[in-house]
Chains A and B, each alone.
Chain A
Amino acid sequence: MKKLSYFLAALVGMSMNYAIAQTPKGSVLIKNATVLTVTNGTHENTDVLVQDGIIKEIGQGIKAPNGVESIDASGKYVMPGIIDAHSHIALDVVNEATSPIVAEVRMKDVVNPYEIGIYRSLAGGVTMSHAMHGSANVVGGQNATLKHRWGMSDPADIIMQDAPRTIKFALGENPTRVHGRGRGIQPRSRMGVEAVLRNGFNEALQYKKAWEDYTKAKSQKGNTDVAPAYNERLQTLADILDGKIIIHCHSYRADEIYMLINVAKDFGISKLVFQHTNEGFKVAPEIAEYTMGASVFADWWAYKFEVYYSTAFNAAILQKNGVITSINSDDAELIRHLYHEAAKTQRYGGLTDDEALAMITINPAKQLGVSDKVGSLEVGKQADIAIFEGHPLSSYTIPQMTFVDGVKYFDINSDENDQRQRVSPTEMVEPIMISQETAHRCMQDTEHLFETAEALFQMHQH
């Protein structure tokens, strides 16, 4: 029996290796560029050599090894591929809104590698996105960290298999509206949100203990204990308590941010990132002291009441208080110009170029637990690279080429009109989408839970 399971494990392991080996890796030499490493300064007239998807050398006068294509990037800027720590592109569905806790749900089951949003984000220099569950639940589903390998047909090939697990939490208006007001169950208020969290984690502690007791008992001879019922939801919460999953929590108001910090402390949880965090600036010292930081909008505010007391200086205040800060999109349009969103931290708070660029590269990489692999131009890291005409923080910049693992997936010079990978055979005429509603998906699939459809149409759903 044991032998069989070893065999099965080996088989699974091999097939996983096979899957990872399948994703394309490229080699390229980028010549004579201004190289913005983000973590290691800016270097003029510098080359970047990539071999088999890994950055091999950064320096001057590098010769292209045999068979490696050389790209002249004179006058252009090279930076790490942009990482969006909050996105919903490449997902068929976003919300499983049926219960205040749905930790068992996994976004990797609904990844759609054909979505045109992947290509469009590549055209904005974005090489990775954090495909998140929606914000309808206090504890939402588990997210998927994607690498934008456009053209793959297997969803597994655009998932970053070596990224740690992350999970979506949500506080405030969205979960209280869906569950309290929409369905008449807790939480209806921010008090209820805390209760849902504490109840969930306490139940998970009991579940953990039941399994630990059983495992201990099993090792005794002649033991006849029956295993506790397996529960994916509680197991996932237990994994959070064991530090195996990073929490990414949708939050706006300072009080709810502070609440979750206290809950996390009480349960010994330290892997915690706040998302949106519009009032994060009010509790910046607390966020800096205890968490993995905040991922924020550059300037979005006033689309709902909990973001009315916001400031576009949020990112700068957080940064200057020592918070690991990233700028995210949560939006299929905004994701295309995160370089521009990051640049707004210079208008609002005067951040340096490196500070601004870190907010869309190394900082989101830290928050996703992948900063040892991506997020800066360093030898040994995965070759996710974007080339820009004009400094990427200038309003007039234009992205030129985007590489993932050294493979070029966007080149402005060979950008064709129709980049769709798959066309629906049931659609006679291609729909024309006039409004921006398509872009806002944080509360997608919860439409039936609102009082009137009209109210929904008017709303941004972040």
Chain B
Amino acid sequence: MKRYTKTFFAFLFALIPVLAMAQIDGEFVKPRSGKFLLQNATVHTITNGVLQNTSILVEDGKIAQVGSGISAGDAEVIDCAGLVIYPGMIDSGTSLGLIEVSSVAETVDNQEIGNFTPNMQALTTVNPNSEAIPVTRVSGVTTVLTVPSGGLFPGTAALINLVGYTPDQMYAGAKAVVMNFPSSGRRGRWDRRSDEDIKKDNEKALKEANEFWDNALQYHQMTEKGATLDYYPEMAQLAKVVSGELPLLIQVNAAADIQSAIKWVEGKDTKVIFSGVAEGWRVADEIAKSGIPVITGPVQALPTRESDRYDAAYTNAGKMAKAGVKVALRTDDTENVRNLPFHAAFAAAFGLGKEEAWKAVTINPAEIWGLEDQLGSIEEGKIANLIVSTEDPFETKAQIMHVFINGYRIPLSNRHIRLYQEFLERSLGLEKTK
């Protein structure tokens, strides 16, 4: 009897793992690394022209080789005949990972209390498992700047690649302290301040900004000289900007504000990048003269003034580029960063041109972020951020066939795709409908 019991329990134990597994159907596809050969594609390198019948070898997360007749060896071969390959797109202004559902406060982590909080780190709060990340990367956007918002100095933005399980795995190697330049424009129809009040608020904010800056300069000079100062993390962070260790990302839009921002920057020994720049076309020559690079967008946006031409926002990037400004694009979005290629297409059609529009989402932002040796083009030695598409990925009917980020082959799946798979043909049709 005892033996039977033993056998019975042994049988039960043997069943346990099987039972546990029986509750899960199917296999989950994860991003996976390895050696991949993308064979016989039309390769748009961005920096070295268009290469026909060219293959790309991806190894150790890098673009190991670009050329024809590369031997596959032990690499997994992906036939790309008839397909086009571009470098992954970079969106230099998003809230990706910081906001999940914008109207649910519990899921909004991009704003802190206070006007002077440059030490708030966007990278800390990036949620690597945000639903919006897999939704974004299957469109070919592989790298984004994620930006805190709020007060005058709301925090520090970080550039991330859209693969990884921790913020550090995602971090792409560039940060910038954000400044919301005091605005003389209205923030929307709910902004019912009088013109005088707006002017006063603007002057007050600029005065505050100058005080912060001067204090940071002092803080930096004193620490340089070896002084031990009280713990002041806000100053310590801004001091990194003052000293040139971190760039300053100035968000500025109205023409008059752009002009005063250019003036404000003069004489400061800091690397400055403008972001937004909705009215840049009005003062494009002055921006070009200042040499400050610009991240502009969204392109699909209304003109800032009722008297403007309907296409003021569409043509903005093109007009600035023509004046000699280095232009990169942003969506200023969270869940629809996937539309970056379409913003770029609109900019291209309305004056920027296709080639410049591609640069504005690849090599230009890579240069702005000081990562031109790693990102923004298809060159040997660069990080393998690649998209394989049936045609120009700016076109809506293009189908993105493969995406590589940091050399990881990205599964072409996300909530949107899974819902499509489940609901295109429901297994229960109209049964039991009243």
Interface residues, chain A, with chain B CB atoms under 8 Å away: 116, 119-120, 123-124, 262, 265, 281-282, 284-286, 289, 299-305, 308-313, 316-317, 320, 332-334, 336-337, 340, 343-344, 346-350, 390, 393-398, 415, 417-420, 428-439, 444, 447, 453, 455-460
| Contact sample, A vs B, 7 pairs, CB 8 Å cutoff | A284-B426, A299-B339, A303-B103, A308-B131, A349-B420, A455-B105, A460-B103
Across-interface contacts of B132 in A (CB, < 8 A)? 302
Q: What is the chain B residue whose CB lies nearest that of A351?
A: B397
Q: What's the nearest-Cβ distance from chain B to residue A116, in Å?
A: 5
Across-interface contacts of A312 in B (CB, < 8 A)? 416
The A-contacting residues of B in range 151-207, CB under 8 angstroms, are 183-190, 195
Q: B420 near A437 (CB under 8 angstroms)?
A: no
A346 CA to B159 CA, complexed, in Å: 31
**Knowing A302-B100, A340-B396 touch, does A432 contact B186 (C-beta < 8 A)?**
yes
Encode B93-109 as 1/0 by CB contact (under 8 A) with A: 00000001111110010
Q: Which of B262-270, B286-294, B343-351, B369-377 contacts A (4 or more CB under 8 A)?
A: B343-351
Q: A457 near B420 (CB under 8 angstroms)?
A: no
Across-interface contacts of A394 in B (CB, < 8 A)? 395-396
Q: B397 near A393 (CB under 8 angstroms)?
A: yes
Q: A302 near B419 (CB under 8 angstroms)?
A: no
Across-interface contacts of A299 in B (CB, < 8 A)? 336, 338-339
Q: B300 near A337 (CB under 8 angstroms)?
A: yes
Q: A282 near B336 (CB under 8 angstroms)?
A: no
Q: B434 near A417 (CB under 8 angstroms)?
A: no
Q: What's the nearest-Cβ distance from chain B to residue A203, in Å?
A: 23
Q: A313 near B254 (CB under 8 angstroms)?
A: no
**Knowing A320-B424, A436-B302 touch, does A418 contact B307 (C-beta < 8 A)?**
yes
**Is B301's beta carbon under 8 Å from chain A?**
yes
Instruction: Find A285's partner among B276, B338, B397, B429 (CB 8 Å cutoff).
Output: B429
Q: A395 near B310 (CB under 8 angstroms)?
A: no
Instruction: Find A303's partner among B102, B188, B298, B304 (CB 8 Å cutoff).
Output: B102
**Is B1's beta carbon under 8 Å from chain A?**
no
A438 CA to B420 CA, complexed, in Å: 33
Q: A313 near B417 (CB under 8 angstroms)?
A: yes
Q: What is the chain A residue whose CB lies nearest that of B349?
A: A396
Q: A305 near B104 (CB under 8 angstroms)?
A: yes
Additional 9 contacts, C-beta under 8 A, given A317-B424, A348-B420, A420-B307? A286-B430, A289-B430, A303-B103, A305-B103, A309-B419, A313-B420, A346-B396, A433-B185, A455-B105
**Is B423's beta carbon under 8 Å from chain A?**
yes
**Knowing A308-B101, A430-B307, A459-B103 touch, does A395 contact B419 (C-beta < 8 A)?**
no
Q: A447 near B307 (CB under 8 angstroms)?
A: no
Q: What's the nearest-Cβ distance from chain B to residue A37, in Å?
A: 20
Instruction: Find B186's partner among A116, A428, A434, A459 (CB 8 Å cutoff).
Output: A434
**Knowing A395-B349, A415-B310, A429-B195 touch, does A460 contact B396 (C-beta < 8 A)?**
no
- What 3 pairs across the A-B complex have the smallest Cβ distances? A437-B188, A395-B345, A313-B420
A349 CA to B307 CA, complexed, in Å: 39
Instruction: Find B346's partner among A303, A395, A418, A456 (CB 8 Å cutoff).
Output: A395
Q: What's the nearest-Cβ distance from chain B to residue A250, in Å?
A: 15
Q: A300 near B396 (CB under 8 angstroms)?
A: no
Q: B302 near A434 (CB under 8 angstroms)?
A: no
Across-interface contacts of B341 in A (CB, < 8 A)? 395
Q: B253 near A434 (CB under 8 angstroms)?
A: yes
